[in-house]
Amino acid sequence: MSLGDHLREFRNRVTISGIAIVLASILGWVYFNQLLHYLTEPLRLTAAERGQTVALNNSDVTGAFSLKLQIALWVGVIVASPVWLYQLWAFIMPGLHRKEKRTALAFIATAVPLFLLGCYAATWALPNAITALLGFTWQEGLNIMQADYYITWVTRFILSFGLAFLLPVLLVALNLAHILPARVMLKGWRVAVVVMFVFAAMMSPTPDPWSMFALAIPLILLYFAAYFVALLFDRRRAKQEPDYHDLADDEASVL
C-alpha cells in the first residue's frame, strides 16, 4: 500500500470516528442539565462541608452555548469509544499477519471496557481532587470560577484516566506490529513505573497518597499484564518465525 493510500485510509478512519462522535454527542446535548449537575456536584458538596461559597460564571454571552457544546462532545467521545477505538485498530491491522488480525479483534473488545473503567475511576478520584484544591481557599475567600474552565478541567481529567487505562492495549498493539518486544518492556519496567506514578500524582493532586496509589497501582498491573501477553506472542512468533527471536534480542540489546 502506497503512502497516498495510507493517508486516504487515515482520512476515512478519522471521518468515520468524527461522525460517530457527533452523532453520540446528541445524547450529551439532550441530557445537558443532568450532566452539568453531575459534574458540578463535587463542587457543591465540598463547599457545603467547608462552609464556602462556590459559583460558576459564564465569561461572555456565548459561554452557555459553548459549555453545552463542550459537554455534548465530551459525552460523544465516551459513548462513541467503541467506534473510534475500532477505527484505530482497523488502521493498524492491515500491517499484521492474518492470525495476528484475529488476535487483535480480542483487544478491540478489551479496549472499550478498559477505557470506560478508566473514566469511572476518574469520577471516583475527582471529589478528592476538588476537596484538596478548594482546601487552599482562605477563610473568607470566594470560589467564583469560569464555567468553561472548570468543565474543561473536569472533562480532561476524566478522559485522561480513560486514555491511561488503554496503556496495555497500546503496548500489545506495538508488540503485534513488531515494534516493541516483550524483552524491551521488561527491561524498561522501572522507568515505566516512575512515569506512571508521576502521571498518577499529577492527575490526583490530593494531600494523601491513597488517590495516587489508586491510579498508579492499576496502571502498573495493566503494564505487566500487557508484558505477559506480549511475551506469549513473542514466544509463539519465535516458533513460527525463527528470525524473529534474534531480532527481538538485537532490538532489546540496543535499547
Residue 174 sits in the same domain as residue 230: yes
Residue 77 sits in the same domain as residue 189: no
* pLDDT tens string 124-166: 878 877 877 777 777 666 778 888 888 988 898 888 888 888 8
146 in Cβ contact with 57 (< 8 Å)? yes
Residue 156 sits in the same domain as residue 42: yes
95 in Cβ contact with 177 (< 8 Å)? yes
Mean confidence (pLDDT) of the chain: 81
* pLDDT tens string 190-229: 998 998 888 877 766 555 576 677 778 888 998 999 899 8
The residue out of 118, 142, 160 marking a domain boundary is 160
Is 125 among the domain residues?
A: no
211 in Cβ contact with 201 (< 8 Å)? no
Q: What local confidence, expressed as pLDDT, does residue 95 receive?
A: 59
Is 122 among the domain residues?
A: no
CA distance 4 to 11: 10
Residue 228 sits in the same domain as residue 144: no
By residue range, what is the domain housing residue 59? 1-101+130-160
Residue 10 has pLDDT above 70, yes or no: yes
Residue 68 — pLDDT band, cuts 50, 70, 90? very high
Q: What local confidence, expressed as pLDDT, does residue 204 receive?
A: 62
134 in Cβ contact with 142 (< 8 Å)? no
Per-position DSSP letters for 75-143, written without gaps between them: HHHHHTHHHHHHHHHHHHGGGS-HHHHHHHHHHHHHHHHHHHHHHHHHHHHHHHHHHHHHTTS-TT-EE
Place of cell 475567600: 141
Q: What local confidence, expressed as pLDDT, does residue 224 receive?
A: 92
Residue 31 — pLDDT band, cuts 50, 70, 90? very high
Residue 151 sits in the same domain as residue 181: no
Residue 145 sits in the same domain as residue 47: yes
Residue 55 sits in the same domain as residue 152: yes
Number of domains in the chain: 2
Is 118 among the domain residues?
A: no
Is 82 among the domain residues?
A: yes
Residue 65 sits in the same domain as residue 178: no
68 versus 109: which is more confidently predicted? 68
Is 113 among the domain residues?
A: no
Is 109 among the domain residues?
A: no
Is 116 among the domain residues?
A: no
Residue 25 has pLDDT above 90, yes or no: yes
Which contacts (CB < 8 Å, 24+ apart) does range 217-225 have?
218/121, 218/165, 219/164, 219/165, 219/167, 220/193, 220/196, 222/114, 222/165, 222/167, 222/168, 223/167, 223/168, 223/171, 223/185, 223/189, 223/192, 223/193, 223/196, 224/189, 225/168
Residue 135 sits in the same domain as residue 176: no
Q: What local confidence, expressed as pLDDT, does residue 250 receive?
A: 45
Residue 48 sits in the same domain as residue 152: yes
Residue 93 sits in the same domain as residue 193: no
* pLDDT tens string 93-129: 665 566 656 666 677 788 889 999 989 888 887 887 7
Residue 186 sits in the same domain as residue 147: no
The residue out of 110, 140, 160 marking a domain boundary is 160
Residue 87 — pLDDT band, cuts 50, 70, 90? confident
The residue out of 140, 160, 180 marking a domain boundary is 160
Q: What global pTM score does this model have?
A: 0.76
Residue 242 — pLDDT band, cuts 50, 70, 90? low
